[in-house]
Structure 1
Amino acid sequence: MKASNIIIALLACGITASVAYLAALKTGIIYKYPEPFYLSANDEAKRPVYQQLDSNEKAVYASLLKGMQKQEEEIPLPYEISGYMYEKLYCLLEKQESDMFFLDSSYYTADKFRKATVIYRKKDYDYGKEINSLSEVRKNVSDNLPQGDDYEKAMYIHDYIVNNCRYLEESDDTIYESTAYGCLVEGVANCEGYAKAFDLLASDAGLQSILVTGTTNDGKNHAWNQVNVNGNWYNIDVTWDDKEDGEIRWIYFLCDDDSFSRTHFKEVHYFTPFQCSENKDNFYVRSGLYAESAEQAKDIFLDKVEKGEKSVRLRFPDSYTYSDFKANYIDSQAIFGLIFSKDDTKTRNISISLTENVEEHCMTIELL
């Protein structure tokens, strides 16, 4: 065979092979696996949990995130990974990427993965309408954020969620109860939905936030957040601060580990939650309602009453200080002597209502 004929034959074989390869790619017989890539520095800065991953995990996380955001059912991975790594990364994505409300919490398992088969809440469904609805809420919150510091932004987001969502009831018909969409658009969510909503809005506001799972002091599974406010990490549980008798509570707003760990026990599995050792931006501390002694609590109470306030919140560092104030001023009724003299007839027309949270060493005194 002449050399020219050999070259033509080789070219023909090459073209045939290329056509066959492209056809195989198109039909899904073979996959074109992506080169490893990573989130941008800006995107990584918004994801404290992603920062804890090693290089290979970050590349797989980025590939999964890119495919999931497009609701792709088959996502090729840059490496072959173990079933444990896939489970870890899938669970982190499902919990920490709070905008992906369409991602199902269930996932396939195998010993090894080179491509992921992803389950979404609705199969072959266009989530465009839901995504737009959630985007509108996010924009509304962002547009109305106060211009103050991180504390004021976190407070606004906390109060917005409490005012616009209620806890899930058995009669509620929804598939989004554990998502930010359920909380912010449908107005119904469980604790995970509350936590994802806070995480999403906090990230929009430029605050670093993560979702934390664990158990409560009564043994129930629970979800809450940690958020970085003014350079320090704090615990926050929006679910437990939801309205009681029509009023927002801030008992679980920006707490340190010492107080929060009495009722919340963090799960340390796929990542390590942050240590929260500061309390200067805790609601009670920042509002001047934290009393380290019964005498200080008395002074705080008097100051608020003299300013015309009818409801005074107090928090104590421990059960001893809490009980000391309660015994000496509430149970003994000496609190009335703090307001009026014993001979003042107005005392006959005054009563108080006491709301207690003994576990958290908090009380609210209302003048009636």
Structure 2
Amino acid sequence: KRPDEYQDSFNVKGAIIDGLAVCEGVSKAFKLLCDRLGVNTMIAFGRSTQDNFGVEISHAWNMVRLNDEYVHVDVTWDMGMSEISKFTRYDYFCVSDRWMLLDHEYSSFPVCKTDEYSYFSKRNRYFISKKELRDYLSTELKKGSPILYFKINVSKDSIVAIQDKVQKQVSRTISLGMHSIYYLEMAPNAKQMCFFFRIKQ
């Protein structure tokens, strides 16, 4: 059954009980859980501009207040990226307007200035320089980590050019540290400059 053809997919029941919901139902469910925990949360309505999701469509997500700062949380898109990667993703967890506006459109909401609560900031996986990326890759490979998941600073280069550079850097670093045949699975989020790689031997 398609979620958008199911009446309860737009509410909490569809999301939590039936496991079948569109973005509005998911956002309402997230707000309910936050309300139960005493976390100030609102539902945001706007439009999505993510190329991977086809044409521009109406979309809903959440805005959460943390220590007097608002941040965006898009559970629906993180669920989608997680399903593609078979790995829990946080591309849209506690992000600022600066990041959210890369593939969302909205107006008349509280300003979200900080990225300090984002997964990438908290885990030190947001890189501005090539050296930072190289150091991270080398460290993870030395630890034998099969997963590489990080975000880089938005560049003036085209998205295709950036993806190509990142892929080459990852492949180069892996080849220097591994002496056996390996396979590399990728699931990038191009607009957000979030990169996911799984190394298989």
Deviations 1:230-254 (A, max 9, x none): 4321011100011324332211111
SS of equivalent residue, structure 1 residue 235: strand
Q: Which has the larger radius of gyration?
A: 1
**Structure-1 residue corresponding to 2:148:** 312
SS of equivalent residue, structure 1 residue 352: strand
User: What is the TM-score with the length of structure 1 in the denominator?
Assistant: 0.48
Q: Which among 79, 84, 100 is matched to residue 260 of structure 1?
A: 100
Q: Which among 123, 128, 139 is matched to residue 287 of structure 1?
A: 123
Q: Indicate whether 1:244 and 2:83 are aligned.
A: yes
CA distance in structure 2 between the aligned counterparts of 1:349 and 1:236, rounded to whole angstroms: 38
Which amino acid in structure 1 is aligned with residue 172 of structure 2?
A
Q: Indicate whether 1:355 and 2:191 are aligned.
A: no
**Structure-2 residue corresponding to 1:226:** 63
**Structure-2 residue corresponding to 1:186:** 18
**Structure-1 residue corresponding to 2:174:** 336
Which amino acid in structure 2 is aligned with residue 258 of structure 1?
R
Q: CA deviation at 1:333?
A: 4.0
Instruction: After the TM superposition, list the runs of 4 or more consecutive aligned residues in structure 1 that deviate by more than 3 angstroms.
Output: 319-326
CA distance in structure 1 between the aligned counterparts of 2:195 and 2:125, rounded to whole angstroms: 10
SS of equivalent residue, structure 2 residue 93: coil
Q: CA deviation at 1:307?
A: 2.1
Query: What runs of 5+ residues in structure 2 fail to find an aligned partner?
Result: 50-54
Q: CA deviation at 1:220?
A: 0.4
Structure of greater relative contact order (alpha carbons < 8 Å, 6+ residues apart): 2
Which amino acid in structure 1 is aligned with residue 140 of structure 2?
K
Contact 1:319 1:361 in 2 (8 A): no
**Structure-2 residue corresponding to 1:278:** 114
Q: Which among 169, 188, 191 is matched to residue 2 of structure 2?
A: 169
Which amino acid in structure 2 is aligned with residue 281 of structure 1?
Y
Deviations 1:281-330 (A, max 9, x none): 11111111111112101111111222221101010120358855842762
Q: Which among 117, 134, 154 is matched to residue 298 of structure 1?
A: 134
Counterpart mapping for 1:111-150 below 5 A: none
Counterpart mapping for 1:26-105 below 5 A: none
Note the aligned Cα RMSD (angstroms). 2.4
Contact 1:356 1:364 in 2 (8 A): yes
CA distance in structure 2 between the aligned counterparts of 1:170 and 1:237, rounded to whole angstroms: 17
CA distance in structure 2 between the aligned counterparts of 1:359 and 1:318, rounded to whole angstroms: 9
Which amino acid in structure 2 is aligned with residue 223 of structure 1?
A
User: What is the TM-score with the length of structure 2 in the denominator?
Assistant: 0.84
CA distance in structure 2 between the aligned counterparts of 1:183 and 1:328, rounded to whole angstroms: 36
Query: What runs of 5+ residues in structure 1 fail to find an aligned partner?
Result: 1-167, 341-345
Contact 1:227 1:235 in 2 (8 A): yes
CA distance in structure 2 between the aligned counterparts of 1:332 and 1:255, rounded to whole angstroms: 25
Contact 1:180 1:197 in 2 (8 A): yes
